[in-house]
Structure 1
Amino acid sequence: MMSDETFFREVNEEIRQQRVHDLWKRFGRLILAAAVLAVIAAGAYVAWREYQLSKANAAGDRFTAAVDLADQNKPDEALKQLQAIAADGFGSYPQLATLRIASIHARQGDAKAALEGFDKVANDANAPKSLRDIASIRAGYVLVDTGSLDDVRARVERLSGDAEPLRYAAREALGLAAWKAGKLDDAKRFLQANRDDPRTPQGIALRTNVVLALAEAGTTPETAAAEAATAPAAAPAPAAALPDTPIPLDLSSPPGSPEPTEAAPDAGIPPAAPEAPAPAAPAGAPAAPSN
């Protein structure tokens, strides 16, 4: 005999099955359509990712080829390819190409064109922040030679804070611009921040020490130029003091590289003078007694 518990369990099971059947009959097609759409969407996303990756690879190859031309001292061909990338490149490559174009102009001495390129990237809201900051630093360095201290401040002062990754270059640009403007206190403030930071890159640290020493001595570019113009020319060394064998110098080494430790044999040591012969005795003089 069936118990009440068994009876109610079977009735509940039939009711659940009927509800599932009714739901499937009502929404089954929609569920199948949603599943098919999900599969299609996943496939489309994968295909789109592959397409984007292929475009990025092609753009990277174009940019690398253009940079190689610039490194091979072919600026005209490099500029032509970089300008094409800047016009129709993919992703961040147009901004990278614009930066490279500005760098070529700076190398060629066209400060105006270089500054326009750097400022264009620095003010491009679509460019990544890292590229905008680099462009601002490069513009600041150009303006150290061609602009005013206020021009340099407008580009790089926001990047000189302790939390900024480009603070060392920003402080150097500000210090150089202040020193050139004769504002020695400002120059010392920016340069001392680099000198006192043990993480300052070596190249910037070396340049900082040189300019900071001049600023602390009260020397400006004008006074340094005046002192160089009025300084007497160094007298040439006597001929007898010059070495017979020249000391070899490696002129291909960059400034600051150590000189060769091994000089030519006897370099800098004048040859010994030959021993003078004894004077001849006058005619008729007695000969020197022999021992």
Structure 2
Amino acid sequence: MREVDEELRRDELANLWKRWGRALLAAIAVGLIALAAFLWWRDYQGKQAGEEGQKLSAAIDQLSRGSIDPALPALRELGTSSRAGYRAAARLASGAIAAQRGDAKTAVADFAAVAKDDSAGQPFRDLALIRQTTIEFDTLPPDQVIARMQPLAQKGSPWFGSAGELVAVAQLKAGKPSDAGATFAALAADANVPPSIRSRAAQMASVLGVDINPAAQPSLTR
């Protein structure tokens, strides 16, 4: 009986192997190929990230030495990178170069691309939006400038100085001197705002008839 039982089990295993053996081998092969592809892709991505980091570092070094044209090819290439950080940094640098050279259209396109990039870090996006708005300021309705900058023009925001100044000037342009004066006064009184912006804000608030505490005004003496 034992021999018959073992023979039956062998027959069942043989039938199962005939029916599913190839499918099982194929599944194992596919799994191994997928694992190998994943390991290769992870290694490739790591190498690519290292190479792009070196390219960005070299381009920044060239810019710091005033070698703008030699840095541009690397910045344009990195501007299409699949890595959001490198892509944003490269397009910010390209936009700054275009703005410096008077190419407002290219600069706005670069800054707008970063500002709209949901995968980029928020500091990159905020900076890009401020730079874009600064260049477009004369062509935008004041209310649009205010709407863009208002979220960044809040006390405690790292962008309060730059964004707040744009809001205040837009308020003046919109015929709202009282609002502009209040915004300038807030900028002048905030010790975290850069001294140059605080100084301008204090002067503008004074012109608009808003008193500023002298102790709150920055000293620009060296």
> Which TM-score bucket, shorter chain as reference?
0.5 to 0.7
Match of 1:69 in 2: 62
Structure 1 contact 175–186 (Cα < 8 Å) conserved: no
2:214 aligned with 1:214: no
Structure 1 residue aligned with 2:213: none
Indicate whether 1:28 and 2:18 are aligned. no
- CA positional deviation for 1:219: 5.5
Q: How many residues align?
A: 208
Secondary structure, in 3 states, of the residue corresponding to 1:202? Answer: coil
The answer (yes or no) to whether the contact 1:95–1:121 under 8 Å persists in 2 is yes
- C-alpha distance in structure 1 between counterparts of 2:160 and 2:154, whole Å: 9
Map 1:144-183 to 2 at 5 A. 149-150=142-143, 152-153=145-146, 155-160=148-153, 168=160, 171-178=163-170, 181=173, 183=176
Paired amino acid for 2:146 = R
Q: Is the 8 A contact 2:81 2:87 kept in 1?
A: yes
Higher relative contact order (CA 8 A, sep 6+): 2
TM-score w.r.t. structure 1 length?
A: 0.53
Q: Deviations over 1:133-177 (max 9, x none)?
A: 331122233445786634533543354468x96652564243342
8 Å CA contact 2:161–2:197 kept in 1: the answer is: no
Let me know the Cα RMSD of the aligned residues: 4.4
List gaps (5 residues or longer) in structure 2: 211-217
TM-score normalized by the length of structure 2: 0.66
> Percent sequence identity over matched residues?
28
CA distances 1:78-120 after superposition (whole Å, capped 9, x unpaired): 334423443x5443334432210111233x3627243343234
Kindly indicate whether residue 48 of structure 2 is the aligned counterpart of residue 58 of structure 1.
no
Which residue number in structure 2 is paired with residue 112 of structure 1? 104
What is the CA-CA distance between 1:44 and the residue it aligns to?
A: 0.8
- Residue 121 of structure 1 aligns with which residue? 114
Amino acid at match of 1:99: L
Matches within 5 A, 1:1-291: 21=13, 23-24=16-17, 26-86=19-79, 89-92=81-84, 93-106=86-99, 108=100, 110=102, 112-113=104-105, 114-123=107-116, 128=120, 130=122, 131-143=124-136, 149-150=142-143, 152-153=145-146, 155-160=148-153, 168=160, 171-178=163-170, 181=173, 183-190=176-183, 202-204=192-194, 207-208=197-198, 211-212=201-202, 214-215=204-205, 218=208, 259=222
Deviations 1:220-264 (A, max 9, x none): 9xxxxxxxxxxxxxxxxxxxxxxxxxxxxxxxxxx95775xxxxx
State the Cα deviation string for residues 250-289 of structure 1 (Å, max 9, x = none).
xxxxx95775xxxxxxxxxxxxxxxxxxxxxxxxxxxxxx
* Runs of 5+ unmatched residues, structure 1: 1-9, 221-254, 260-291
Supply the AA of the counterpart residue of 1:178. Answer: A
Larger radius of gyration: 1
Provide the C-alpha distance between the structure 2 equivalents of 1:123 and 1:90, rounded to a whole number of angstroms: 15
What is the distance in 2 between the residues matched to 1:65 and 1:201? 36
Does the aligned pair in 1 maintain the 2:185–2:205 contact within 8 Å? no
